Structure 1
Amino acid sequence: MAYTGLGLLLILLLSCMLTITAVSVIHNCAGSSNSSRYVANLDLLLSSLSSNATSATGFYNASTGDGSDKVYGLFLCRGDTTTKDCQNCVKNGTKEVKSLCSNTTTAIVWYDDCMIRYSNESFSSILQQDPVFYLYNLNSVTNLDQYNQTVGDLMNRLVKEAAYGSTTPKYYAADEVNYYTGSHNVYGLVQCTPDITPDECNGCLNGSVALDIPHILYPKMGGRVLKPSCNIRYEFDSSFYRQIASDPASPPQASSPLASAPSTNSTSSDGTRIYSTDLMEEAELSNLKDLWTKKELVRSLNARVSIIFNLAHFF
C-alpha cells in the first residue's frame, strides 16, 4: 500500500508539472477595473488582435474605446515563427489572458512564440523595460572564460544586427556559433517591438546582454530576459532555435482604432503594479531536460523537482 501511495503522489506531481505546458511562460497583471464598458472594449481589442494574426505581419497594435475605458493592445510574434504558429499563439493567448488577468486594466503575457499585451494607457512607440523577468536553465557551464567570450560575442553581434541592420522581420536577429572545437553550438535570439527607434532597441537589448547575462544569468546554459519592448534568449540546446520561417513577417501594420463598446458607468485604474509569484503559473516546465524558472523562485522549484526525482527512486 505504501508503494501505491507513493506512486499516486508521483503521478500527481508529474501531472501538475506537465499541465503547465499549456499556459504562458510568464505573465504580469496590474490595475483593476469593474467597468463593463472597459471589459467590452477589451473583448473587442482582443478579438481584433486575434483576427489580425491571420496575416503575415508578426506584429500588430490597435486601440478601442475612449476616455478612461479606452484599451490599447498589441501582439508580437517571434521573428522565426510561421504565420500559422503566430496565428495559433495569438489566438490561444488572447483567450487565455482574460483568465490569467481577469478584471485588470494592464496585462502582458509571454509565450514561446508570441507576446500579447494590453493596457488602459497608450504604450505605442514608447520604450518600456519594466516589468522585467529572468528565466534560466538549471545547468551551468564549466569553461567560464569560453562562456563569457562566446556568448558575449554572439549576443552583442545579434544586438547590432537587430537594431541597425536590414533584418526581416524588423528588429529581429538569431544565429548560432560553435562553443569551442568539438563541442556544441550556442544559439542566440534577440528581438524588439517594431514601434520603437533603432537606438531604443539597441539600448533595450544592450542592457540585457551587458548587465543581465553576466550578473543574473551567468554561468547558466541558457537564459531569457523578457521586457515589454525587447527580449533576448540564448541556449546550448538547439531545440528552441529555428531558421527564419519560410513565410517571414511583413512590415508591421499601423495602429488601428476600433469601434468602442456602448457607454456605461466606468471606473478608473489605480495604476498599481502587481507581480505574481505563483510558481505553477510563472515557470515553464515543458520538459525536465530543459527546465526554466523565474529567478526569484529557483530554490523553491529545485526543492519540488528534487522531491519528484527522490520519489522516483522507489519504483
Structure 2
Amino acid sequence: MKSTILFFFTLQAIINDVNLVVATSPKKDRHVCRGGDFKSDTIRKNRDSAFNKLVALIKNSSYHGFLHVQAGDKPEEQVSMTFLCAPAIGKARCECGVKDTFNYLLKSCPKQNEGVAWDIYFYFNVMVRYSTGRKILSVLDDWAWYSFPFVYKVSAIALEKTMDSFGSKLKEQAAGGDANQKYANGSVNYDGEEFKLHVAVQCTPDITKAVCIKCLSKASTEIRNCCTSKPLFHGRTFSTNCYIWYMHINIFDVPITFDPESCS
C-alpha cells in the first residue's frame, strides 16, 4: 500500500511539477489580486522597497517563519508586506521561496493595490502578500483562498471524519502559540491502522488565538469541500492568514536538501 501511494505521489509530482527540493516551481492561478490599479509610481517603488526590507530581515533577524514590513511615508501610498513559511524549514529555504513567490506575484499583480500569492513545495508552502494604503498586521482578511487538491484517491472510508477530528486538535495547538509562531503538526492512524494521516496547520502569528481558530475553521471547511470528502490522497488550503495541509506520506521526516545556487 505504501509503495503504491508513493508511486502515485511521485508520478503526480512529476506531472504537476511540485517541487521535491527548493527550486523554482511553475505556478498557475496561485494568486489573487484586488483593489484596482495604483496610479502612483511611488507605490511601485514602495512595494519594491518593502520586499527588499523583508529579505534583509529574513537574513539578519531570528527566523520564525513570519515577518511584516512597511515602506512609504504617505499613508495612502504606504505598502505593507508579509510572508509566511513553516518554521522548521529554516531561513535560507524560506528566503529562496519568498523571492520566487514575490517575483511571481509581481508578474501576476503588476499594478494592483493588493495581492497575495502562494507557492507549493513537497514539504512546505510559502505565502507572500502586500497591501497599499491600509493596515494588514493583526487583521484577518477573508478575501483570498486557494485550494490545491491531489487527484489520486485513497480507499479510506474515514478520511473526512479523521481530518475533522484531528485537525480540530491541531487548530487549538497552533492557535495557542505566541506572537512569533502559530504552527502545529502531527500524525494519526485511522481505518483500523491501515492508513496514517499527516497534517500541518499554521496561522500568521500576528493574529489572536480566537482569530486563528476562526481562520483555520474556514480552512477546514474549504479542505473538506476540495479534498477530504472525495477522498483525495493529499490536499492543501491557503488563505492570507492561515493554511491546512494533509498528506498520506510523512512530510515531517522527508530528507531536506537545499542548494543555495538553485534559488532564483
| Equivalent in the alignment of 1:312 | none
| Equivalent in the alignment of 1:171 | 182
Q: How does 1:205-216 map to 2 (within 5 A)?
A: 205-209=216-220, 211-216=221-226
Between the two proteins, what is the percent identity of the paired residues?
24
Task: Report the TM-score, using the length of structure 2 for normalisation.
Answer: 0.76
Query: Residue 85 of structure 1: CA displacement?
Result: 0.9
| Equivalent in the alignment of 2:127 | 115
| Equivalent in the alignment of 1:28 | 32
> Are residues 1:97 and 2:97 paired?
no
| Equivalent in the alignment of 2:9 | none
Q: How does 1:174-213 map to 2 (within 5 A)?
A: 174-181=185-192, 183-209=194-220, 211-213=221-223
Please give the alpha-carbon distance, in whole angstroms, between the structure 2 residues aligned to 1:154 and 1:16.
30
What CA deviation, in whole Å up to 9, does each residue of 1:229-258 have, x standing for no partner?
1111111133xx126999xxxxxxxxxxxx
| Contact map agreement 1:174 1:188 (CA 8 A) in 2 | yes
Report the structure number with the largest CA radius of gyration. 1
What CA deviation, in whole Å up to 9, does each residue of 1:31-62 have, x standing for no partner?
21242111111111111111112231311101
Please give the alpha-carbon distance, in whole angstroms, between the structure 1 residues aligned to 2:88 and 2:54.
19
Query: Residue 167 of structure 1: CA displacement?
Result: 7.2
What amino acid sits opposite 2:82 in the alignment?
A: L
RMSD: 2.8
What amino acid sits opposite 1:195 in the alignment?
A: D
Query: Residue 74 of structure 1: CA displacement?
Result: 0.8
Q: Which runs of 5+ in 2 are unaligned?
A: 1-13, 257-264
Structure richer in strand, relative to its length: 2
Please give the alpha-carbon distance, in whole angstroms, between the structure 2 residues aligned to 1:227 and 1:160.
18
What CA deviation, in whole Å up to 9, does each residue of 1:143-168 have, x standing for no partner?
32x2233222221111111112x579
What CA deviation, in whole Å up to 9, does each residue of 1:101-157 have, x standing for no partner?
21221110111332111011221111112211222111223332x223322222111
Please give the alpha-carbon distance, in whole angstroms, between the structure 1 residues aligned to 2:242 and 2:18.
28
3-state secondary structure, aligned to 1:138 = strand
Please give the alpha-carbon distance, in whole angstroms, between the structure 1 residues aligned to 2:18 and 2:175.
37
- The runs of at least 4 consecutive aligned structure 1 residues that moved more than 6 Å come to none
What amino acid sits opposite 1:85 in the alignment?
A: R
Please give the alpha-carbon distance, in whole angstroms, between the structure 1 residues aligned to 2:153 and 2:190.
14
What CA deviation, in whole Å up to 9, does each residue of 1:77-105 have, x standing for no partner?
12331221112112333333222221221
- Alignment equivalent of 2:65, drawn from 53, 58, 63: 58
Q: Which runs of 5+ in 1 are unaligned?
A: 1-14, 247-315
Query: Residue 63 of structure 1: CA displacement?
Result: 1.0
Query: Residue 227 of structure 1: CA displacement?
Result: 0.9
- Alignment equivalent of 1:73, drawn from 66, 76, 81: 81
Please give the alpha-carbon distance, in whole angstroms, between the structure 1 residues aligned to 2:87 and 2:17.
27
| Contact map agreement 1:97 1:109 (CA 8 A) in 2 | yes
Distance change >3 Å, CA 228–CA 24, structure 1 → 2: same
